[in-house]
Amino acid sequence: WKRVVSGVQPTGMVHLGNYLGAIKNWVALQDLYETFFFIVDLHAITLPYDAPELSKATRSTAAIYLACGIDSSKASIFVQSHVRAHVELMWLLSSSTPIGWLNRMIQFKEKSRKAGDENVGVALLTYPVLMASDILLYQSDLVPVGEDQTQHLELTREIAERLNNLYGGRKWKKLGGRGGFLFKVPEALIPPAGARVMSLTDGLSKMSKSAPSDQSRINLLDPKDVIVNKIKRCKTDSFPGLEFDNPERPECRNLLSIYQIITGKTKEEVVSECQYMNWGTFKTTLADALIEHLQPIQARYEEIMSDPGYLDNVLSEGAGKASEIADITLNNVYQAMGFLRR
């Protein structure tokens, strides 16, 4: 069995980018692989945040996983901070991760530039080491993420290789023959479509939780009228007809792509359906499709949130299963790095 891991931060609302770039693709993987999907609450504190909101957002994100079709009888669903090995391994990895590698990270550069040096905690710099720990603990083969995470995945591979070279000299039987190395070197799994969903108000920047205007994104839990309104007001252009591949029309490409993925149609089908549409007609078509796709997810979400005991059970069972595997890796790494064991 190949292993798959991935996670979303419980900051702000889960949006269409998180869904199309990541969560939606996890659903198919749980039938093919051994899967671990977590809510990365420890990553969510790397920028200033509202403490009372964190646990709520964590529960809500877990409920969204389930509502989107992640099945707790197939996948382990858990909260990152419930499995202590994540933080422990991060410390061990950080001893061999050059600061220069972290300084190069685009997301660190962008986020720290926005916040200003005095407001940036050290954890923002070491964030990708925690992410590497999330992945390497499970000896993962594949990590399904959106395109913005490729650099972090590349760093994870470099960290794994570096520690394998430094400390992985002997065979690690307990890892179940997973390559015979200390760490399996994982690969990113980027979806062919939806890997980079763009903002509704600017087709050149990515849809993001941190963009100041909520008009720039569709949140998975947006009510019907909000979706209609956001689509009605989203940025368009004054070219005739609609097309995917005109570089001067990034908004057009983005909205058509969203429509394509959400309806499950092929690109050709979307072209023949929409090429002669005007924006007004297409916007109604797109808003209807989004509502139709999201409505069942929202209904399941409400159901799950109305039964807190159920969610608690899912998360506690998930953390139990994850800890068993994570502890094996962690103990091997302690041993490999020369620590005196209890």
Range in contact with ligand TYM (rule: CB under 6 A) among 49-57, 129-137, 169-177, 297-305: 129-137
Beta strands in 14-100 (DSSP E): 34-39, 75-79
Judged by beta carbon, residue 43 or residue 283, the one nearer ligand TYM is 43
Judged by beta carbon, residue 114 or residue 170, the one nearer ligand TYM is 114
Q: Which of 74, 209, 224, 321 is catalytic?
A: 209
Helices within 79-217 (DSSP H only): 85-94, 99-103, 106-115, 122-136, 150-167
Token code pair at residue 216: 């720039």
Distance separating alpha carbons of residues 182 and 337, to the nearest angstrom: 11
Q: Which of 241, 233, 239 is nearest to 283 (CA)?
A: 233
One residue of 3, 4, 9, 325 binding ligand TYM per CB under 6 A: 9
Nearest distance in Å: CB 307, ligand TYM: 25
Judged by beta carbon, residue 206 or residue 249, the one nearer ligand TYM is 206
Q: What letter would DSSP give residue 3?
A: E
According to the binding rule CB under 6 A, does residue 85 interact with ligand TYM? no
Residue 212 burial (C-beta neighbours within 10 Å; 0-12, 13-18, 19+): exposed
Q: Which of 151, 146, 143 is nearest to 187 (CA)?
A: 143
Q: Respond yes or no: is residue 230 known to be catalytic.
A: no
Nearest distance in Å: CB 263, ligand TYM: 18
Main-chain dihedrals φ then ψ at residue 28, nearest 5 degrees: -70, -30
Range in contact with ligand TYM (rule: CB under 6 A) among 116-124, 206-214, 232-240, 319-327: 206-214
Nearest distance in Å: CB 137, ligand TYM: 10
Q: Select the residue whose beta carbon is closest to ligand TYM and give its number.
A: 21
Residues 15-54 that bind ligand TYM (CB under 6 A): 17-18, 20-22, 40, 43
According to the binding rule CB under 6 A, does residue 190 interact with ligand TYM? no
According to the binding rule CB under 6 A, does residue 82 interact with ligand TYM? no
According to the binding rule CB under 6 A, does residue 253 interact with ligand TYM? no
Q: Which amino acid is at 65?
A: Y
Distance separating alpha carbons of residues 31 and 320, to the nearest angstrom: 21
Q: Which of 2, 74, 109, 111 is catalytic?
A: 111
Q: What letter would DSSP give residue 199?
A: P
Judged by beta carbon, residue 124 or residue 335, the one nearer ligand TYM is 124
Distance separating alpha carbons of residues 234 and 81, to the nearest angstrom: 37
According to the binding rule CB under 6 A, does residue 203 interact with ligand TYM? no
Residues 308-337 that bind ligand TYM (CB under 6 A): none
Residue 71: CB atoms within 10 Å? 14
Q: Respond yes or no: is residue 174 known to be catalytic.
A: no
Distance separating alpha carbons of residues 75 and 70, to the nearest angstrom: 7
Main-chain dihedrals φ then ψ at residue 15, nearest 5 degrees: -115, 180
Distance separating alpha carbons of residues 34 and 269, to the nearest angstrom: 34
Q: Starting at the earlier edge strand, list the strands of the sheet with 75-79.
A: 75-79, 34-39, 3-8, 142-144, 187-189
Range in contact with ligand TYM (rule: CB under 6 A) among 94-102, 189-197, 221-229, 238-246: 189-197
Judged by beta carbon, residue 32 or residue 278, the one nearer ligand TYM is 32
Residues 147-186 that bind ligand TYM (CB under 6 A): 148-149, 152
Q: Which amino acid is at 141?
A: D
Range in contact with ligand TYM (rule: CB under 6 A) among 6-14, 63-71, 110-118, 162-170: 6-14
Please identify every residue annotated as catalytic: 111, 206, 209
- Interacting residues toward ligand TYM by CB under 6 A: 5-9, 17-18, 20-22, 40, 43, 131, 134-135, 143, 145-146, 148-149, 152, 195-197, 206-208
